[in-house]
Amino acid sequence: MTQNMKEILVTRSSMPSFEEYMEEIRPIWDSHWLTNMGPKHAELAEKLREYLGVERIDLFTNGHMAIELTLQAMGLGQDGRNEVITTPFTFASTTHAIVRNGLEPVFCDVDPETFTMDPDRLEEKITEKTCAVLPVHVYGNICDTEAIERIARKHGLKVIYDACHTFGETVNGKGVGTFGDASCFSFHATKVYNTIEGGAACFRDGKLGEKLYNLKNFGIHGPEEVRAVGANAKMNEFCAAMGLCNLRHVEKEIEKRRQADLRYRTYLEGIPGLQLNCVQPGVRHNYGYFPAVFDKEIFGADRNEVFEALAKHNIGARKYFWPLTSAFAAFAGKYDPRETPVALKVSENVLTLPMYADLETEDIDRICEIVVVCRK
């Protein structure tokens, strides 16, 4: 193996050319309208609504506020039912959004192939205190929305999807943002599509939209009219401008990621003890992540050993998601991660390898070479 210490990050933000972004923000200099839902905000909201194929959309400062305020706008917990069924195999934001609303997360295990909520384990988690289900699409893998929503309807529960990993994806031609009572996206710099920082909630209910507006803008409807108590979660004009630029290129960026995914699979698919991300029929994937799950007994090395081997060659990888949110120190002693054994096992063995649109072929080859050498 040749020695090459070029640094490879686990991810890298997609950006337009400097000149394109400067041209996009030029009107902001002319108008001095920097925030408070200006022309760029309005233009981006409409273009995203069309691109995602959703009925309604609202933009936020980040994906977390999209989830947290959507839960709040639904008034969950006000009738005494305060349990929200979710999974612990997710980023901190999902669980924290539930807790910060004074609600109680109830953790459901995940499917061992898709790493998304296992609908066969869902109904057993429902009690008289359950008010909603918050499933998470993971690594671009889509939840079994049909089964989840059938169970939720049976029990009169709201369904809010954490769709932060699935921007631009479709299921049999249907946009992923159309599922559930709401679907929330993150436009963080590390995502397939970014607005530097940002997020969105997609929904059909106009009344929910009114509540979301109040919550993200202090309930202000005019210089002398405040109709409700709210917070401040508005996307600014500079982030919206970045979003407009990146939206023009997102299809090309996804195609570059698809090619990177294919290169990885050429080297790594079929290696005993190495589970790669599944390919879901009917899903148009965005190739946002390249997770690999290592079975030490078969592969010969565990996830941590591979992580260290890559780090020695200046290559970033991520134990994503580790630990489970149910194992966070913030919740010490409150939850038992062993109650979701599949999620726990995946979290202990998964490693996301570098993935971004500009990842070079020779860098992928180098990463794969190091991974393969770890086999014993």
Q: Indicate the pairing of strand 283-284 with strand 170-171.
A: antiparallel
**pLDDT tens-digit profile of 33-78?**
999 999 999 999 999 999 999 999 999 999 999 999 999 999 999 9
Averaged confidence pLDDT in the chain: 97
**pLDDT tens-digit profile of 118-130?**
999 999 999 999 9
Between CA 293 and CA 273 the distance in angstroms is 8
| Cα separations in angstroms, 67 against 50, 275, 342 | 21, 30, 25
Q: Label residue 5 by pLDDT band (50, 70, 90).
A: confident
- All structural domains of the chain, each given as residue ranges with its CATH number in brackets, are 18-244 (3.40.640.10), 250-373 (3.90.1150.10)
**pLDDT tens-digit profile of 186-224?**
999 999 999 999 999 999 999 999 999 999 999 999 999
CA dihedral 293, 294, 299, 304 (to 10 degrees): 150
Between CA 356 and CA 191 the distance in angstroms is 9
Task: Look at residues 295, 357, 340 and name the one whose alpha carbon lies nearest to residue 90.
Answer: 340
User: 86 pairs with which residues across the strands?
Assistant: 107
Helices 63-73, 92-99: inter-axial angle, 10-degree rounding:
30
Q: What is the pTM of this model?
A: 0.97
Instruction: Write down the residue that tokens 């992580």 correspond to.
Output: 307
Between CA 50 and CA 56 the distance in angstroms is 10
Q: Specify the pLDDT at position 149.
A: 98
Q: Specify the pLDDT at position 4.
A: 75
Q: Specify the pLDDT at position 376.
A: 75
Between CA 10 and CA 8 the distance in angstroms is 7
* Both structure tokens of 127: 């009690």
Q: Specify the pLDDT at position 86.
A: 98
Residue 353 above 70 pLDDT? yes
Q: Which residue has the higher pLDDT, 3 or 127?
A: 127
**How much is the average pLDDT of 259-273?**
98
* HSE-CB of 157 using CA atoms within 13 angstroms: 29
Q: Specify the pLDDT at position 192.
A: 98
What percent of the chain has a predicted confidence (pLDDT) above 90? 98
**How much is the average pLDDT of 333-352?**
98
> Is-contact 67 76, C-beta < 8 A?
no
Q: State how far Cα 327 lies from the chain centre.
A: 20
Q: Indicate the pairing of strand 130-133 with strand 158-162.
A: parallel
**How much is the average pLDDT of 170-177?**
98
Residue 15 above 60 pLDDT? yes
**How much is the average pLDDT of 152-179?**
98
Q: Specify the pLDDT at position 136.
A: 98
Q: Specify the pLDDT at position 2.
A: 52
Residue 3 above 70 pLDDT? no
Residue 248: Cβ within 10 Å count: 12
**pLDDT tens-digit profile of 80-119?**
999 999 999 999 999 999 999 999 999 999 999 999 999 9
